[in-house]
Amino acid sequence: MKDVRTDGQPKRVFIRTYGCQMNVYDSDRMADVLRPLGYALAEAADQADLVVLNTCHIREHASEKVYSELGRLRDLKTERRAEGRDYTIAVAGCVAQAEGEEILRRQPAVDIVVGPQAYHRFPELLAQVARKSAAGGSKNRMPGAGVLDTEFPPESKFDHLPSPQGIRAGSAFLSIQEGCDKFCTFCVVPYTRGMEYSRPVAAVLAEARQLVAAGALELTVLGQNVNAYHGEGPDGSTWSLARLVRAIGEIPGLARLRYTTSHPRDMDDDLIAAHGEVPQLMPYLHLPVQSGSNRILDAMNRGHDRDLYLRIVERLRNARDNLALSSDFIVGFPGESDADFDETMRLIQQVGFASAYAFRYSRRPGTPGAALTDQVPENVKVARLAALQALLGQQARAFNESKAGTTVPVLFAEPGRKAGQIMGKTPWLQSVYAQGDPRLFGRIVDVRLIEGYANSLLGEIVTGDYEVAA
Ligand code: SAH
Ligand code: SF4
Ligand code: F3S
């Protein structure tokens, strides 16, 4: 592979990320894999030589977006070709895994389809594309002649990735667990990401230390079921997430630690206790419940009922009294009646969420839920979603308003919406806007919260540090 294009300019890659935090981590790691091949990051698809769509398959809408984007990229490729230059299109992530060959058939302009467990092999895939090109195939390539790698390889990608580069504004993601064995009946993740896998403790701690040394004040450890973590410890014993969290909390210089996404079934005693004992662990937990109806939770194969969820919430709040919760909800799962939906609304009222995501059930090919006959009509889903979001919206606003008048540490990360404003996050992951200097990006400073709104807060920087920084 050459480090520069034939016109002497550096090669550029544009990576577009869809879906969850796992994909955000993977996109950064793909950039790390491509960097040694000479690829710098581009800001947009039309400034790139290689475009990677890191895709999400979770709902139908997410998957279909990929094909419309691929149509636009095909047009860009045609323009480039007319100028005698090359343009490589890759589809990575969960749609790549789920649809594989079908992508090459539906959009022949695609050169590479690579699954979420195989992207460490990107250099080899690019080499294959280059070889096909050199053989004269690429200009008038037959449809479906792109290269495909959607294996779940025997080796772990994590053992073949270079060290992570580039911390964004003091905050970094660290994948410690992948895949899922829980097979909720609505969900594609066990099929797109494969079986549950936990990275060894030593590799996780080494990466965590590297990220902190590179400037991360906040680490979020990731997994599809992050609290199912059961990595091999240095002494051969199996570590739980609680044990890992305690060890990461001891890394000097790390101010904030979060983990996501966790499953209620895997909230063990030690992890709950860690919320009261590890000061770096932020007082905010995303703990999806999906539904408040026992009948629906059972049909979803969630493996717990509403009482277990409520008990866990109570124990978490006993461990850390200022803990805020967020959740995911699905409305209109097959068979969901008005009474089932009311149970979900009642659970929301009982718990009180600081934030939440709610989705209309989307029928996903190959999942058990798709085969159920009592699908809920779309108009009913729409109405239920609106009612649910109204209640969750009220709770989010009330939570934000409840923090007004207090002074809290904020990790600033990016420009705000208005001139002179910057935006950062509180310990509860709320967005705070304040007048401030971009030199504060990547720093934690005290902010007095003035007013809370539906999705954010307005604040005023009060810390003495600010004068030093400005
Ligand atoms: N592992 C996480 C969730 C991963 S998927 C967990 O178990 O909580 C993220 C969210 O997408 C889920 O929590 C669920 O609310 C939603 N989701 C997944 N499949 C869906 C589907 N078929 N239709 C609608 N929403 C779905
Ligand atoms: Fe999907 Fe359920 Fe696994 Fe979460 S626990 S990733 S919702 S199958
Ligand atoms: Fe989507 Fe795959 Fe994440 S399906 S939600 S990108 S694990």
What is the number of the ligand 1 atom nearest to the C-alpha of 357? 15
Strand partners of residue 93: 55
Distance, CA 363 to ligand 3 centroid (Å)?
15
Q: What residue's CA is closest to ligand 2, atom 1?
A: 187
Residues with CB under 6 A from ligand 2: 180, 182-184, 187, 189-190, 224-225, 263
10-residue stretch averages of pLDDT, the chain, 470 residues long: 63 96 96 95 96 96 91 96 93 96 95 96 94 66 73 90 84 96 97 95 97 96 97 96 98 97 97 98 98 98 98 98 98 98 98 98 96 97 98 98 98 95 98 96 96 97 60
SS3 332: coil
Q: Which domains does the chain have, with CATH numbers?
A: 11-149 (3.40.50.12160), 157-395 (3.80.30.20), 407-469 (2.40.50.140)
In whole angstroms, how far apart are CA 258 and each of 32, 109, 285, 394?
23, 40, 8, 25
Rg over CA atoms, the chain: 23
What's the burial of 422, exposed, middle or buried (CB within 10 Å: 0-12/13-18/19+)? Answer: buried
Among 180, 186, 261, which residue has the most ligand 2 atoms within 8 Å of its CB, making it the best to mutate?
A: 180
Residues 459, 326: Cα–Cα separation, whole Å: 23
Closest atom of ligand 2 to 188 CA is 1
Give the Cα separation of 133 and 84 in Å (integer): 13
- In 205-352 the beta strands, taken as DSSP E runs, fall at 218-222, 231-232, 238-239, 256-260, 284-286, 324-331
Positive or negative, the Cα torsion across 441, 444, 447, 451?
positive
- Cβ atoms of 173 and 164 within 8 Å: the answer is no
- What span, in angstroms and rounded, lies between the C-alpha atoms of 341 and 385? 10
Query: Best substitution site from 20, 57, 182 to test ligand 2's pocket, by max atoms within 8 Å of Cβ?
Result: 182
CA distance linking residue 374 with residue 376, whole number of Å: 6
Q: Report CA(407)–ligand 1 centroid distance (Å).
A: 35
Ligand 1 pocket residue status of 119, Cβ below 6 Å: no
- pTM metric for this prediction: 0.93
pLDDT number for residue 165: 79
Question: How far is Cα 152 from Cα 193, in angstroms, rounded to an integer?
Answer: 8
Gap between the Cα atoms of 18 and 156, Å rounded: 23
Our mutation pick for probing the ligand 3 site, out of 21, 94, 182, counting the most ligand atoms within 8 A of Cβ, is 94
State if residue 261 touches ligand 1 by the CB under 6 angstroms criterion.
Answer: yes
pLDDT at 168: 84
For residue 263, the Cα-to-chain-centroid distance in whole angstroms is: 15
**Largest distance between two CA atoms of the chain:** 68
23 lines ligand 1 (CB under 6 A): no
Phi-psi region of 187 (alpha: psi -120 to 50; beta: other; left: phi over 0): beta
User: Which residue in 39, 210, 9, 11 sits closest to 122, CA to CA?
Assistant: 39
- What's the CA gap between 1 and 412, in Å, rounded? 39
Coil, helix or strand at residue 33: helix
End-to-end CA distance of the chain: 44
Nearest-angstrom CA–CA distance, 409 and 123: 42
Q: CA of 164: how far to CAs of 19, 34, 211, 271, 361, in Å?
A: 21, 12, 8, 27, 36
């509860």: which residue's tokens?
Answer: 428
Looking at residue 465, what is its pLDDT?
A: 55
Cα–Cα–Cα angle for 158, 260, 223, rounded to 5 degrees: 30
* Residue 1 confidence (pLDDT): 45
Distance 193 CA to ligand 3 centre (A): 8
